[in-house]
A and B are shown apart, each in its own frame.
Chain A
Amino acid sequence: MADNKDMVKDLYLTMRRIREFETNAMNLFAEGKIPGFVHLYLGEEAVASGVCSNLREDDYITSTHRGHGHIIAKGGDLKFMMAELFGKATGYCKGKGGSMHIADGTRGIIGANGIVGAGQSISTGVGLQILLHKTDQVCVCFFGDGSTNQATFHESLNLAAVWNLPIVFVCENNGYGISNPQSRHQKIKDVADRAVAYGIPGVVCDGNDVFAVRETSAEAIKRAREGKGPTLVECKTYRQRGHFEGDPAIYKPKEEQEAWLKKDPLDKMSKWMTDEGGFSAAEVKAIDDQVKAEVAEAVKFAEDSPYPTPESGVEDVYSDIVEEVRDR
């Protein structure tokens, strides 16, 4: 639960930042300003915010194709993120990766990833590095319910368990693997049940309740930090949009969508803050206004930034080979 007002404010600030960033991304995509694919984190804000509130700057995360929320919660810069979504030279990846590939080595963000389940095995390497360097850092590996049917899930959780790696596997069960509801892509209801197969703890929490996420993941992160090995944390949440923008999500039952919108994590949090948390409506609005300004600034930065030069297209393939990439 809420320890103190500053902590609550920080949690809400992060959630609101994600909401504002994603809402802007949604609109900018619809306006044709953001090219490619965009997978929005709307509705799942409490997960990244709650988990990352327990992390230090020198901890690591691996992320997914639906990664904006994780990156914001881990301290990613909104300007560089938005510029990357636009494909601009000032973006995190210099316009070479786009929405699904944002990384920031200086903040322990070992990349969003376009391959479902890829981050799971990458996290084992991060965990191994921490183990061998004997630090008390941890790596949080975010992934969705759909990815738990990939071989990487099995291979990585097994490896992390047998090597006792300092990793927290956070499954964001948002109910869908692309268009397939969980009931049609796996027989189990709780992904956390699979932890038994690896001899590690598996826990479930309400992924729309940021306090529940914070508390549950804190325990798992503490275990990892203390060298007690990995935990599988499942956060039950809901993907409020389609798989990607432009997906009308006709496969989602209307009643289900409406029921989950009533459990919206931002609404829940702001209501709690004014009803029970000792915040005035004006205080909440001040946070909202601050975030609106930050995201507006990020959008302006992205719009004003230049596109990458043609020359830059052959850079960064290798550390030491540039022009040769053009031909042989």
Chain B
Amino acid sequence: MKKMMTYSEGIREGMSAAMRKDPDVVLFGEDVGMFGGCFGVSAGMFDEFGPERVRDTPISESAIIGCAVGAASTGLRPIAEIMMMDFLTVAMDQMCNNAAKLRFMTGGALHFPMVIRTAGGAGVNAAAQHSQSLEAWVTHVPGLKMVFPSNAQDAYGLMLSAVADDNPVVYEEHKAMLAMESEVDLDEGPIPLGVGKVVRPGSDVTIVAVGNMVHQALAAAETLEKDGIDCEIIDPRTLYPFDFDMVANSIDKTHKAIVVSEEVKRGGYMGEISAQISENLFDSLDAPVVRIGALNTPVPFSPALEPIYLPNAEDIVKAVRSQG
């Protein structure tokens, strides 16, 4: 049955469905309990599942991830929330040195079915310690998977798959998209990790975009359509494992590629995708791959500055036109 749902509700429905199905799934993090999470994403879950399974932690990011590692290695399937993606830095050791590596380092003796949920992204005037997009820092680490839904249906389906996965999955939710409504069919179930989605089919240029940038790409495509340029937009949905085949098939058709993310452009994850396209599909390309990202500055606070920092539809339009 289809209904309209916010992105936030999609995440919550995903978590709740997973928790109803498996008593070993638990949610913990700062203020996720009675308060319902800083952004209200887990609102009502404390009432449904109780204080044992929906647990408030002290403000201790490192312990939150370490706790998830220990819990996952001994039989739970924790969903650990790090309130802001920026705060992942406080727990980076636990995420990168323990969650990500211990399966390999123990030769598979231990495994870590756990989800790290975290709110990334800018656009709400939260300044540089509450707005970052750190996809590159996460995807750089072997042993982690990462998903980043751009709508409520994907938020729901990717959560189901993330919880069911036997590996640590970082689940990024964009804080500026939480109230964004879209149509959801809860009967559709899990969306496999590593499977992208053609959000808009087209024939002239391939635009790979994640998170909130999917919506900027859609707006750009509308503008470009008036010029007679037909954009194909791909939302990989999972950053690792990445659906490169979908991108390659699209570029075989369009021969042009633009990659867009909200990270600062320098060293961003989309640089990796751009490199993969150039390395593997050079002969199909009619123009160099173009990366679009944020300015290489900390995220500014002022409403006058933040929009200048962020990449937008206009940037995408310009980039497509520049490819000729």
Contacts and interface: CB of A to CB of B under 8 A. Distances in A.
Interface stretch (A1-9, A48-56, A125-133, A183-191): A125-133
A125 B69 contact: yes
Contact of B70 (A94, A110, A316, A317): A110
Contact of A155 (B63, B75, B78, B143): B63
B94 A121 contact: yes
A94 B244 CA distance: 31
B35 interface: no
Q: How large is the interface on A (under 10, 10 to 19, 20 to 34, 35 or more residues)?
A: 35 or more
Contact of A162 (B58, B102, B242): B58
Interface string A129-163: 11111000001000000000001100110110011
A155 B74 contact: no
24 contacts: A97-B106, A101-B105, A105-B110, A111-B105, A111-B110, A118-B93, A118-B97, A121-B69, A125-B78, A130-B74, A132-B52, A155-B60, A155-B63, A156-B63, A158-B58, A158-B63, A159-B57, A159-B58, A159-B67, A162-B58, A316-B108, A318-B145, A318-B167, A319-B167
A287 to B, nearest CB: 30
Say which size band chain B's interface belongs to: 35 or more
Contacts of A10: none
A163 B71 CA distance: 14
Given A104-B109, A155-B58, A321 B104 contact: no
A163 B58 CA distance: 10
B197 interface: no
A123 interface: yes
A92 B67 contact: no
A108 B44 CA distance: 35
B298 interface: no
A33 to B, nearest CB: 20
A174 interface: no
B103 A125 contact: no
Contact of B75 (A120, A129, A159): A129
A64 to B, nearest CB: 13
Contacts of A123: 70
B104 A129 contact: no
A193 B57 CA distance: 24
A325 interface: yes
Contact of A110 (B73, B76, B78): B73
Interface in B19-50: 24, 26, 28
Interface in B79-113: 93-94, 97-98, 102-111
A85 to B, nearest CB: 14
Contacts, number: 154
A152 B106 contact: no
B258 interface: no
Nearest to B244: A328
B143 A317 contact: yes
Contacts of A92: 106-107, 109
Which of B66, B71, B104, B244 has the most C-beta atoms of chain A within 10 angstroms of its own C-beta? Answer: B66
Given A159-B57, A325-B142, A320 B78 contact: no
Nearest to B63: A155
A115 B93 contact: yes
Contacts of B105: 93, 96-97, 101, 111
B119 interface: no
B74 A320 contact: no
B252 interface: no
B166 interface: yes
Contacts of B74: 60, 110, 125-126, 129-130
Central interface residue in B53, B68, B70, B111, by most chain A CB within 10 Å: B70
B208 interface: no
Given A104-B109, A125-B67, A132-B52, 5 more contacts: A110-B73, A121-B62, A125-B68, A125-B78, A131-B52
A28 interface: no
Given A91-B107, A96-B104, A152-B62, A319 B67 contact: no
B159 interface: no
Interface string A35-79: 000000000000000000000000010100000000000000000
A103 B70 contact: no
A121 B67 contact: yes
B202 interface: no
- 10 tightest A-B contacts by CB? A121-B66, A125-B70, A94-B107, A125-B71, A155-B63, A93-B107, A155-B60, A122-B70, A103-B106, A97-B105
Contact of B94 (A62, A118, A130, A139): A118
B264 to A, nearest CB: 22
Given A97-B105, A104-B109, A125-B74, A320 B167 contact: yes
A226 interface: no
A162 B51 CA distance: 13
Contact of A152 (B57, B63, B102): B63
